[in-house]
Structure 1
Amino acid sequence: MAGLFESAGGGSAAIALDELEASILRSLEVQMLELIGPGPGGDAGDDPLAALFAEGPSEAPADPALARLFPDAYGDPEKPDDAEAREAAREFRRYTELDLRARKREDALQVVRALDGLGGEGGVLKLAAADCLRWLGALNDLRLTLGVRLEVAEEDEQGLYDLPDTDERKPLVMAYLWLGALQESLLEAIAD
């Protein structure tokens, strides 16, 4: 293994991470957990009944990264004056965003827990098939967030490889590209 996922059979995967790679990935996921948070109105406390009937926010997040992770379900960005679509998007968000946030938190926590299992050192992680899907979600969320922060557009992604070492974005770009390689290798591993 060369720091990318390989098939472990039956939809499962394995990856060898050195201590630095594990630390960076864990740090990124912890930051993702902080970014996602419970969301507005999403902390129902210890009351499971209140959590079951809690309504989420009706407006899209102001943070562009959160808006990318929790996009409007209805509407055409080319037609921002479509009142009917905006109302449908608000209603959909109100009843789905808290669950989506919870799933994204669980995905990130799955990665953190698996990395914690390495005991702060590098090693080989073996993921069961169900865990692979959570990892895919967590890696995708990280990559989307970094893409927004870096203002990456699909047509200029190739330019990321040509950044000079003195560019202050270089560490984030390297993480963005590495996460893409991890994501792609995991997809290939579970498809085998």
Structure 2
Amino acid sequence: MQNWKRRGRGDSLRITSRLDAHESELIASLVSSMTELLDERASTAPDDELAAMTGIAVGHSSAPQDATLGRLLPDFHRPDQDRHLAADAVTGDLNGALRSVHEPHIIEAKSRALRTVLDTLPQGGGDVTLSRAQAEEWMAAINDVRLALGAMLGVTETTPDHLPPDDPQAAHLDVYHWLTVVQELLVVAVMGAR
């Protein structure tokens, strides 16, 4: 992948790069898998009579059991995040209520970003030209793909930069690091840093 570049200014600003065929295919595959994961979560939300009457979407009230989805859709608050609040003030029902109300909107925002990537991704490789808004959607989508991949790999602060070539997760970790670079370079281009 070539570095992201800024072209133009103001409303005519475009963020551009060029992807090889295999890079484009890899991003499409990862983004499509993420889309399926989020679509499945949204489609399994419980039916709610009030939601049906009002048209207000309601999501799950419990956190995903899957580690990948759990990383993408974490609880709004965990007792270990704030030692000054009583643990019962933020557990169970409150997190469930917040999740039920907000999860559909969070999934929709994540899905919209993923669709933007698929809509602007050159099939078979080629030039990518993004408006600032599209570039911001790309940043969000790439971040979510990285989070999901990191959760699947169990990436922590102690995870090495490279695994032995015969490790079954070595290629996946390389993809994780490559996505990190793609995202970082895109952030730098959008921010206009030199």
TM-score normalized with structure 1 length? 0.85
| Residue in structure 2 matched with residue 66 of structure 1 by the alignment | 69
| Residue in structure 2 matched with residue 85 of structure 1 by the alignment | 90
Higher RCO, Cα 8 Å, sep 6+: 1
Task: Tell me, yes or no, if structure 1 residue 41 matches structure 2 residue 40.
Answer: no
1:43–1:191: structure 2 CA closer, same or farther, 3 Å change rule? farther
* Distance apart, 1:125 and its partner CA: 0.5
Q: Matched residues in 1 for 2:139 and 2:108: separation? A: 16
Find 1:103's aligned residue among 86, 105, 109. 109
- Where 1:124 maps in the other structure, the secondary structure is strand
| Residue in structure 1 matched with residue 16 of structure 2 by the alignment | 14
After superposition, give the CA deviation of every residue in 1:72-108 in whole Å (9 maximum; x if it has no partner): 11222478x9232112211111100001001111111
Q: Matched residues in 1 for 2:101 and 2:183: separation? A: 29
Q: Matched residues in 1 for 2:140 and 2:53: separation? A: 27
* Distance apart, 1:51 and its partner CA: 8.1
- Where 1:106 maps in the other structure, the secondary structure is helix
| Residue in structure 1 matched with residue 145 of structure 2 by the alignment | 142
- On the 8 A contact 1:12/1:126 being kept in 2, the answer is yes
What is the RMSD computed on CA atoms of the aligned residues?
2.3
Give the gaps of 5 or more residues in structure 2. Answer: none
TM-score normalized with structure 2 length? 0.84
Residue pairs, 1:52-63, within 5 angstroms: 52-63=55-66
| Residue in structure 1 matched with residue 171 of structure 2 by the alignment | 171
Q: Matched residues, percent identical?
A: 28
Q: Matched residues in 1 for 2:54 and 2:168: separation? A: 42
State how many pairs are aligned.
181
